[in-house]
């Protein structure tokens, strides 16, 4: 059982934000914050890179649209050409409708799968869960996790710093 890091619980979002930025100033980098709802300020503090998922969504949309239109075109032009109501084989206006829907579907699937994949979900055994204090049971508190992997990590020191920053509890997290 090795130590994974220290997790500090705060009552208020502001406290978390303040603590996170303070720790960053102290040079900590390997940190993560946990909150019941999103806290926009943390993005800058924890230097989270803007996600590239929008491109995945776009790609998914285009793929769905193009593939579907190609399938339709293949079916009416090559595989099974039929005279339907004297209309041209390639009646693009109706085909576009279906392709559009398929595009939306492709984009949505790409987005959903993308966000799970990027977030590494589902993952049922993250060290954070090993912390007694880590729970959203009562509406959730606001947690800051400092990993042992951080070069500046010193168990006692870091604990003291977190406590001084107003953490309600500071707990050791087993890996």
Closest CA to 35 of 1, 5, 10, 3: 10
Query: Nearest-5° angle of CA 40, CA 11, CA 172?
Result: 95
Nearer to other proteins, 112 or 164 (CB): 112
Give the nearest distance from C-beta 7 to other proteins in angstroms: 11
Site for other proteins in 15-74 (CB under 8 A): 32-39, 42-43, 46, 48, 50-51, 53-54, 57, 61, 71-72
Give the nearest distance from C-beta 156 to other proteins in angstroms: 26
Give the nearest distance from C-beta 160 to other proteins in angstroms: 23
Q: 4: Cβ–Cβ under 8 A, 6 or more apart, which residues?
A: 127, 130, 147, 148, 173, 174, 175
Instruction: Choose one: 22-30, 130-138, 154-162, 166-174; the region binding other proteins (CB under 8 A).
Output: 130-138
Closest CA to 169 of 5, 31, 6, 9: 9
Instruction: Choose one: 86-94, 146-154, 157-165, 166-174; the region binding other proteins (CB under 8 A).
Output: 86-94
């Amino acid at each position: 059982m090795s130590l994974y890091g220290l997790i500090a619980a705060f009552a208020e979002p502001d406290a978390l934000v303040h603590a996170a930025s303070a720790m960053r100033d102290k040079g900590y980098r390997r940190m993560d914050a946990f909150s019941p709802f999103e806290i926009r300020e943390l993005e800058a503090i924890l230097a989270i890179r803007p996600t590239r998922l929008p491109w995945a969504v776009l790609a998914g949309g285009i793929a769905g649209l193009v593939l579907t239109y190609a399938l339709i075109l293949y079916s009416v032009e090559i595989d099974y050409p039929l005279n339907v109501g004297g209309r041209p084989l390639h009646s693009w206006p109706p085909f576009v409708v279906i392709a559009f829907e398929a595009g939306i579907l492709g984009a949505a699937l790409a987005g959903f799968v993308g966000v799970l994949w990027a977030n590494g979900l589902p993952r049922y055994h993250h060290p954070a869960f090993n912390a007694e204090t880590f729970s959203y049971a009562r509406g959730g508190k606001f947690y800051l996790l400092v990993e042992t992997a951080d070069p500046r990590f010193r168990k006692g020191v870091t604990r003291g710093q977190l406590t001084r920053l107003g953490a309600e509890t500071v707990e050791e997290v087993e890996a």
